[in-house]
Chains A and B, each alone.
Chain A
Amino acid sequence: DVKVTQSSRYLVKRTGEKVFLECVQDMDHENMFWYRQDPGLGLRLIYFSYDVKMKEKGDIPEGYSVSREKKERFSLILESASTNQTSMYLCASSFWGRALGEQFFGPGTRLTVL
Chain B
Amino acid sequence: QLQLQESGPGLVKPSETLSLTCTVSGGSISSTSYYWAWIRQSPGKGLEWIGNIYYGGSTYYNPSLRSRFTMFVDTSKNQFSLKLSSVTATDTAVYYCARLQYTRRVIGGLDIWGQGTMITVSS
A and B are partners in one complex rather than unrelated chains = no
